[in-house]
Structure 1
Amino acid sequence: MTTKAGVAPTVRCDAIGNRNTTGCIVSAAEPILDYSTRNIPELATHVRYAQASGLPGDPAGTSPLRRLADPVAQQTNRNISCNRVPRPRPTGQQCDEYPFAATYQGGGANGPARTYQGSCDVAQPAWVDTLATNPVPFKSSTGISMCLLSASQNQRAGGILTWFYTKNRVLDNDTFYVKG
């Protein structure tokens, strides 16, 4: 494999990961997490709407997500995003946030909050920009999107994200894209 003018690509090898494995990646090849084929349509729709509102991570764009590996910072991101969703929440529903809590662009980053009327089942406080359709009229490359999803889909999506990070050797601050 070569990149340009016969120059060999940079390969990174490591022994870091949740499963004590060693492996190598081509660092110029940013991995793409494809949720569109994972039988989790609520999550895939949320990702598409969030990206259509300007948030990063769309493989067709130029702004990847960056992995955040620190579990304490991840929980802080999750709390900033999902503690905004009013309670009580419907039985069997969980808050999903995009960008993911496990990214540097997650809830701790500044910017407007948004959700999607008719698709996310979230009662909206006055400060939330509610977006009704895709493509959406509101655009911002910063901020968060929140959506209530079925708990089973949200948990499955989280497991797939963890698997993706391990399988593709996505380390702290590495970039990647998400397809919804």
Structure 2
Amino acid sequence: MTEVDHGGECVTPVEAVKPASDLSTLDALPFPIWCNDSGNNIPVSASRTEACNLYGLRLTTTRTVNGVTTKTGELMMNVYDYEFSSPDLPSWQHQIGVAPMSGWGDAATASVSGSMTATNQCTTQGPNTFPIQSLSPTNGVLREGYAGATTTATAVGAIGNCTTTWNLVFTTPGYNPVTTTSSLEEVRCDNATGANGARPARVGCVVWWFPAQVLYSQSSYPSLASHVSRAQASGLPGASFAAPLHRTSDPTRTSTNRNLACGDAPSIAGLSCDEYPLASTYEGLASGGTRRTFDNCNINAPTGVTGPTGASACMITATENNAQGGIMVGFYYDNRVLEADPYRVGVGT
């Protein structure tokens, strides 16, 4: 008598097969090409409001006859997880795409469906659908699901994180269904940013770990831009993704940073002391290091110092230094930069 089971099916993560071109134009929103920069199942981002993760999955089907198990098919897929939010809205979207890249045998006849759940300070919102879709042909075209989430961190001062998880079900005729999950936890929502002049306090959501960039204009703020450029060129952090600054909202730390950098600055009409890294960062002199300066800065400190630790001080035009405060307040508001969040400082035209 021949004994045959109902077949086995499993799904395992693998390296993605990264396409050379952009993705399907049939997406609810086109998955961004920079999603291909993701690797080792680590999400990437190109802005403060978007995050994407690309990884591979392998679906394997097997049959066991008289105790001997034989592989009957294999399907290689790319999975694209994509979240996009707004700093002015309490909700965001989590979109998922499954792209079959190659396959053979029974596994190549599989279909996929799914639904999304939300945990921590959030709930699902609106349509939550990944209708069953065939994974044949294996042509790299995305099969998609789309769902929304909304934060419950809406009280004044509240900060909430969320994990949204797609539960994917792979169904192959003649085999038991197999499931896997795909999660993102990149979005943070808050009502802690506060108001900014005429712009009101509001709830919004961002990819908190992406270091947005504040720009100082050389034409509008020449002395400020000159000091920041020279400070960064000397090795102080803040210009790059690899070495961003991190905001501190601790007034004691901010005051210590400022006093160590500018506490003994001279009184010169029309000028005031600027410190870099900014006093409102964890990279200031409260974290250690020594003060440095540059020629014509009117600060009693060594010049020619290089390296990533310490801070630079320079007397710059007072009106520019005052304007910098407003620039930073607006930047923190627009990008929801909270305590310990990373950001970059750039100099533009």
TM-score (normalizing by structure 2): 0.45
Match of 1:29 in 2: 210
Q: Which runs of structure 1 show a deviation greater than 4 angstroms over 4 or more consecutive aligned residues?
A: none
Structure 1 residue 130 and structure 2 residue 303: aligned?
yes
Partner of 2:140: none
Aligned to 1:134: none
Displacement of 1:69 in angstroms is 0.5
Contact 2:272 2:315 in 1 (8 A): yes
The one of 154, 161, 164 equivalent to 2:328 is: 161
Q: Distance in 2 between matches of 1:2 and 1:81?
A: 37
Q: More helix by proportion, 1 or 2?
A: 1
Q: SS in structure 2 opposite 1:8?
A: strand
Residue number in structure 1 paired with 2:71 = none
Match of 1:44 in 2: 225
Instruction: Select the residue among 62, 65, 69 that pairs with 2:249.
Output: 69
Which secondary structure does the structure 1 equivalent of 2:256 belong to? helix
Q: Which amino acid in 2 is paired with 1:11?
A: V
Larger Rg: 2
Deviation at 1:107, TM superposition (A): 2.5
Within the candidate set 270, 274, 299, 1:92 is matched to 270
Cα deviations across residues 60-112 of structure 1 (Å, max 9, x unaligned)? x5111000011222112111110143x3x211111000000100111212112
Match for 1:81: what amino acid?
A
Name 2:237's counterpart in structure 1: 56
1:110 to 1:22, Cα distance in 2 relative to 1, 3 A = same
Residue identity opposite 1:113 in structure 2:
R
CA distance in 1, matches of 2:203, 2:229: 33
Unaligned residue ranges in structure 1 (runs of 5+): 132-137
Query: What SS does the corresponding residue of 2:307 show, helix, strand or coil?
Result: coil
Normalising by structure 1, what TM-score? 0.85
Which residue of 2 is the match for residue 18 of structure 1?
Answer: 194
Residue type of the partner of 2:224?
A: L
Q: Which runs of 5+ in 2 are unaligned?
A: 1-49, 55-79, 84-185, 196-200
Q: Is this contact kept in 1: 2:188–2:206, CA < 8 A?
A: yes
Count of aligned pairs between the two proteins: 166
Q: Which has the higher contact order (CA 8 A, sep 6+)?
A: 1
